[in-house]
Amino acid sequence: MSRLSNRVAIITGAGRGIGHGIALGYAREGADLLLVSRTAAEIATTAEEIHALGRRAVAVTADVCDAGEVQRAVERALEAFGHIDVLVNAAGIPMVAPSTELPLEDWQRALDTNLTGTFLCCQAAGRVMVAQGRGAIVNISSLVALQGFTQRAACASTRSRRG
């Protein structure tokens, strides 16, 4: 029996990068997944890969910055699977630019995705987990939150996730 058999996980940022890798790893360990990404084509590809591993996957195109879209994703997970065991917040924007040149809109987009998006997902899935009496939330951080890197002020400011 796999470590995550009969478990349901929501993975944000599952269309590429770390989120994609986490989704495949959870599937290999037996989890069924609700995959969240802003990019429909990427998330559909991830879902196909998970189906090929013999696991169930539902792809939801959603922006984690939008509370309504996040709530719809959580509701879709409950519709498809009946419960939520794990939320993995892997969605994030790295935002590489010199601080002196970084446009305010880009700074705000990093804040909205990396901080507010994480909060909204934790809040929506957390409500379900509290009602269930169980659940786990994993927030993916970044090395730039712990060590200085040039041109990464927005990412470093928004990816330190402790507590």
- Classified by CATH at the fold level, domain 8-158 comes out as Rossmann fold (3.40.50)
Residue 142: its pLDDT value, please?
A: 65
> 137 by DSSP, 3-state: which?
strand
Residue 96: its pLDDT value, please?
A: 77
Q: Which residue has the tokens 């196909």?
A: 48
Residue 90: its pLDDT value, please?
A: 95
CA–CA dist 59, 77 (Å, integer): 10
Tokens for 163, please give them: 């507590």
Cβ 85 vs Cβ 91: under 8 Å: no
Per-residue pLDDT averaged across 104-111, rounded? 90
pTM for this one? 0.88
Alpha-carbon distances of 118 from 2, 13, 53, 77, 162, rounded to whole Å: 28, 11, 28, 17, 12
DSSP letter at 115 equals: I
Mean pLDDT of the chain: 89
Residue 34: what are its φ and ψ, rounded to 5°?
Answer: -105, 120
CB atoms within 10 A of CB 111: 17
Stretch among 1-15, 22-36, 68-82, 137-151 having the lowest mean pLDDT? 137-151
Cβ 83 vs Cβ 136: under 8 Å: no
Residue 162: its pLDDT value, please?
A: 44
**Is 127's pLDDT higher than 50?**
yes
Q: What confidence category does residue 160 fall into, taking pLDDT thresholds of 50, 70 and 90?
A: low
Residue 53: its pLDDT value, please?
A: 96
**Is 24's pLDDT higher than 90?**
yes
CA–CA dist 131, 157 (Å, integer): 32
Cβ 40 vs Cβ 22: under 8 Å: no
